[in-house]
Structure 1
Amino acid sequence: MNYLAHFHLSHGKQGLMIGALLGDVVKGPLKGVYPSEWEQGIQLHRRIDAYTDSHPLVRACQARFPKKFRRFSGIMLDVAFDHFLSQHWQQFHPQALPQFNAEVYSLLDNTRWPATAQAHAQRIAKHDLLNHYQEWDFILEVIASIGRRLRVANPLAEADQILPQHYQYMAQAFTEFYPQLQQFASAEKLTMGEDLALNNKRVE
């Protein structure tokens, strides 16, 4: 999943939302370098990605793309799914999308980010990415931009020739998949909260 979905699925605790962004840049084992709730957010990000990558509905979408796109299909779907989340936002969250996004931008602006994440946080707010995800043409531009930043040769500049053909299929897959992902993320957050409470009790 991409930025909007990760912020949405971690919503409720600022530390988890910070970790949702850090999950894109922090790699390897977590060793207590960051606050515990940030690291929980990173773990949640990783588990959401693993759940998404292995889900049959997501794999069925990927299988529809031409072979040369398959290696990068996860990137394309992550961004496309943020578009569908924007389009169907009221089904998944009681708060209006512009208000939610404003809350996220405030968090991005008022957090002292590690150097590795500072550029990500600034880019999201500067370009108002979360609100623009509602625009399909913008989604195609984002995917092409990711392709230009990758260090390996890739066909993402040609995604505009492929993704529109599968728009309805992806939209239907998303509406079936996302409620399952919400349930998964909620269960993970509950487990993490119980673990944190237990650890704090031990410290006391």
Structure 2
Amino acid sequence: MQRIDSTAIETMGIPRLLLMEHAGDAVARTVETMAAPSARILICCGTGYNGGDGMATARLLREHRYRVRVLLAGALSRLREEPARYAGMLRHLRVPVRICRTPESIRRAARWFDGADLIVDALLGIGTKGRVREPLATLIRQINAASVPVVAVDVPSGLDGDCGTPQGVAVKATTTVTFGCVKRGCLIAQGPAHTGSLTLDPITIPRELLEHAAR
């Protein structure tokens, strides 16, 4: 899937920001089927492109009158170009953003979890390999301890998208919104237990690329 994204962006000229916007729209539409507009939504974002999808989701849900908070697992300075642009949009919309860079800072954010009606997991994507490190491991455990629905973005954070095994610890989602094509790891081994129900969205990736990848 990473190769498909790269081809869409570099060869076909589809802007990454557009892919993020469509990913955010797909996740926001799923959230809207699970929670009323007055609901309190906590979106946990990493500093990579998966986190950018989460921030795009936050922007759209805020426009739809949801009470949105964003927990960013890392410094703003670590954001890549497109996620950084979404962070700027959230700042202008006055969406509360809390930066957590240590396990202790995550524990201090416990009230944000206690006050949430639904959590969006946008911490780690399919490009993550190796055991989940801190503070993300603590954050994933905090998400799993919450007694509210969890929507994962593309794959549950910490789940190997190829073999379906947790990389030390992985989010247990109520539902996962995946993009382009279903990741094999969501269907095998421990994948289904972490993925929950599965929604597939093409996010404007050309059908020709998806069909070629499936051969």
State the TM-score, normalized to the length of structure 1: 0.28
Higher-Rg structure is 1
Greater relative contact order (Cα < 8 A, sep 6+): 1
| Structure with more helix by fraction | 1
| Structure with more strand by fraction | 2
